[in-house]
């Protein structure tokens, strides 16, 4: 048996094509394109690459990107003032602050300043609260991407046992809530869970969001289970070359799992896509 590949990259392209058409259709009526503002502070090279990626994706879809790049010396007050301006700007539908921020800046406090209806990352407590309550909201991007991968793969969580390894507010908790909403029976495991492998072996759907390279081996998997690997870890291979791997030991799981996401090319591309989808959703609501 070889696991079915859940191709997040192909799905991301499909959804982005759909968004592009949607934007082109809405724009003549609305008189403007959707706008996304990404705030970046300092010169972290990884962050700069992520921001470029987001801005290019915006352009491809016909969205306007209102990038703001500030020096590492920017103050909390300056950033707060910029967020307030963006909140009030009718051309901006989505706002996000690229993390990590330089030492001394409080990302959480900045998040609270973002208008929840423009919270493109879906991480504002108002949006997380709406998610808990089962109300419409801008959904956190990585978890929303995981749910899209399941939907596209024809994997309905209803009635299934789902185990989420990881309980971060960014990934683990919101994924668990979304799986619960989709009627799975959900267990959230973490670093204090005894006999993690046995807990994971119960899962029909296993989501790994841990940040430990290749931690989830075949002994964690019920034969035929769906495995979603959120982890992105940079390791050095035997030849000394850097390479990206997930939390899941992909190669060794291919004969055990029923369906599996690769890294790269799985959940990662879906995260950016859901950010764009949230911005379009906010645009649609703003102008409805
Ligand atoms: P965090 O470090 O915030 O959370 C990690 C979670 O894993 C914690 O809940 C922790 O438990 C748990 N954990 C750590 N070690 C173990 C262990 N040995 N056994 C069981 N549980 C463990 O990470 P994030 O949630 O932010 O990210 C997780 C991974 O997902 C990372 O690799 C990150 O790079 C990746 N990521 C990928 C994205 C994408 O687009 N694909 C987007 C965001 C993140 P405890 O709470 O007890 O400490």
Kindly give the number of the ligand 1 atom that is closest to the alpha carbon of 211. 32
Instruction: List b or e across 174-206, with b for residues whose CB sees 16 or more CB atoms inside 10 angstroms.
Output: bbbbbbbebebbbbbbeeeeeebeebbbebbbb
Report how far residue 196's alpha carbon sits from residue 221's, in angstroms, rounded to the nearest whole number: 11
Residues annotated catalytic, as ranges: 54, 98, 121
Which of 166, 167, 276 should be mutated for ligand 1, with most atoms under 8 A from CB? 166
* Amino acid 17: pLDDT: 98
Q: Is the CB of 192 under 6 A from ligand 1?
A: yes
For a ligand 1 pocket test, name from 96, 149, 209, 245 the mutation site with the most ligand atoms within 8 angstroms of its C-beta. 209
Residue 191 known to bind ligand: no
Confidence (pLDDT) at 143: 98
Is the Cβ atom of 244 under 6 angstroms away from ligand 1? no
What is the structure's pLDDT at 191?
A: 98
Which pair of structure tokens corresponds to residue 169?
């507010």
In this structure, the residue with its CA closest to atom 3 of ligand 1 is 168
Ligand 1 proximity of 166 Cβ (cutoff 6 Å): yes
Q: Is the CB of 218 under 6 A from ligand 1?
A: no
Q: Give backbone dihedrals phi and psi of 68, rounded to 5 degrees, phi first.
A: -130, 115
pLDDT at 29: 85
261 lines ligand 1 (CB under 6 A): no
What pLDDT is stored for residue 152 in this prediction? Answer: 98
Tokens 């991407």, residue located: 145
pLDDT at res. 288: 66
The span from the CA of 77 to the CA of 181, in Å, is 38
What is the ipTM score, two decimals? 0.99
Which residues of the chain, if any, have pLDDT below 50? Answer: none
| pLDDT value, residue 238 | 87
């Amino acid at each position: 048996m070889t696991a079915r590949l859940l191709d997040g990259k192909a799905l991301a392209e499909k959804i982005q094509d759909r968004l592009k058409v949607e934007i082109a259709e809405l724009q003549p009526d609305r008189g403007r394109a959707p706008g996304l503002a990404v705030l970046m502070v300092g010169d972290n090279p990884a962050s700069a690459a992520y921001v470029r990626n987001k801005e290019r994706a915006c352009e491809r879809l016909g969205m306007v990107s209102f990038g703001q790049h500030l020096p590492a010396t920017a103050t909390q007050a300056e950033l707060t003032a910029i967020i307030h301006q963006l909140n009030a700007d009718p051309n901006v539908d989505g706002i996000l602050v690229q993390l990590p921020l330089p030492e001394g800046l409080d990302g959480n406090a900045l998040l609270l300043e973002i208008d929840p209806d423009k919270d493109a990352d879906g991480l504002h407590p108002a949006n997380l609260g709406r998610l808990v309550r089962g109300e419409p909201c801008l959904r956190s991007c990585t978890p929303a991407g995981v749910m899209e991968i399941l939907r596209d793969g024809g994997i309905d969580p209803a009635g299934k046992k789902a185990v989420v390894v990881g309980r971060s507010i960014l990934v683990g908790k919101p994924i668990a809530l979304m799986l619960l909403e989709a009627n799975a029976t959900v267990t959230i495991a973490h670093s204090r869970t005894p006999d993690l492998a046995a807990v994971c072996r119960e899962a029909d759907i296993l989501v790994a969001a841990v940040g430990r390279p290749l931690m989830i081996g075949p002994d964690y998997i019920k034969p035929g289970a769906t495995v979603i690997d959120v982890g992105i870890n940079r390791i050095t291979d035997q030849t000394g070359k850097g390479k990206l791997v997930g939390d899941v030991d992909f190669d060794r799981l291919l004969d055990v799992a029923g369906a599996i996401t690769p890294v790269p090319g799985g959940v990662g591309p879906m995260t950016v896509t859901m950010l764009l989808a949230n911005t379009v959703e906010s645009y649609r609501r703003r102008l409805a």
